[in-house]
Structure 1
Amino acid sequence: MHDTRRTANLLGATALAVTDLALAGAAGAVGVSGSGAAALVVLGADPGISVTELGRRVGLTQSAAARMVDALEARGLVERRPTFGKWVAVHPTDAGRRAAATLLDARGDRLAALVGALPPSDQEALAGLLEGLLRALYAEVGSAWRVCRLCDRPCCTEAGAVCPVGQAERDATGG
């Protein structure tokens, strides 16, 4: 009989170590926090959102998101632009877009090296398992933006592949 708790424990240890590896590579590449790295990636994909929405997508309260945007703005990576009323949109600067590309490359390189340690057949099996886990995570979290806050979106859909989180969201919302 399979020991589900052991498998879950192995997954937890792996997930934490992979997170540390990915965040260290990404954040270290441009000298920002993990939240700052995620914010740059989110803004690269969807510039012009509010501080509150940015915070929601990266898992921060509005006040924490405002402080993070202040820090990114002080480094010249983002800028606030007034729109209508009191609403302010956050946009990446050219330096912010370059930083986002740099951190995604660093994250991708470290993760690709890790996955590359497996034989191709195991890599393919792992991809299928991860797609299933990501669909389950979307069902739990309920936000594709939150699940994929540090994703290299074009990488996930190149060669006609379908993003499992995006598909789970479309299935859930009827879109």
Structure 2
Amino acid sequence: MHERRLANLLGAASLAVTDLVLAGTTEAGRVSASGAAALIVLADAPDLGVTELGRRVRLTQSAAARMVDGLEAAGLARRRRGEGRTVRVRLTPAGEDAVRDMLDARGSPLDGVLSVLDADERETFTALLAKLLARLYSEVGDADVMCRLCDRHCCVTGAVCPVGQAERDATGGT
């Protein structure tokens, strides 16, 4: 029964954290959850095609095209023609500002949640989360999808991203 309780607690905590993250990012960016994810993805990977952007934020190509329409209308992203029929998407300066605001808004409630942990607990929790994320990668199999709302800079500064490492381990990369 203890394992089931642990799983239930993890589920409740993950849902509450998701709600906090999405509320902060969507409010700060004044966009939908998929729009927020798209902007954050584009900040790290400019000039993605609409189809690839949609894949990373878990939208069909047609839904991704409509989302990009909305981001363009809001002045946050712009399309440009690539080779052949390819259309690339890039953030505008307003989109770059929105990403900074969204990542700040995402981080603040998370910092508040973690404030109940002392330094040793934070270190232990960091190691446990890294282990869980590596396991989750084996289920999801796509670091781009898993990290679509991540502040990648803070994850890799002075550390190794556990999701990126799990992907390298799985694909034989370095």
* TM-score under structure 1 length normalisation: 0.96
Residue 80 (structure 2) pairs with residue 81 (structure 1): yes
**Count of residues in correspondence between the two structures:** 173
Stretches of structure 1 lacking an aligned partner (at least 5 in a row): none
Structure 2, gaps ≥5 residues long: none
Alignment of 1:1-175 (within 5 A): 3-158=2-157, 160-175=158-173
Other structure's SS at 1:80 match: strand
User: Deviation at 1:126?
Assistant: 1.1
Q: Secondary structure at the match of 2:160?
A: coil
1:112 CA displacement:
1.0
User: How far did residue 171 of structure 1 move?
Assistant: 0.4
Q: Which amino acid aligns with 2:100?
A: A
| In 1, Cα distance between equivalents of 2:55 and 2:9 | 29
**Offset of residue 117 of structure 1:** 2.0
For residues 114 and 169 of structure 1, what CA distance do their matches in structure 2 show?
A: 28
Give deviations 1:90-120, integer Å, cap 9, x for gaps: 1111110110111001101111111112222
The residue identity in structure 2 corresponding to 1:103 is M
CA distance in 1, matches of 2:163, 2:132: 10
User: Which 4+ runs in 1 deviate beyond 6 A?
Assistant: none
Q: Taking every aligned residue pair, what percent have the same amino acid on both sides? A: 60
RMSD between aligned residues? 0.9
TM-score, normalised by the number of residues in structure 2: 0.97
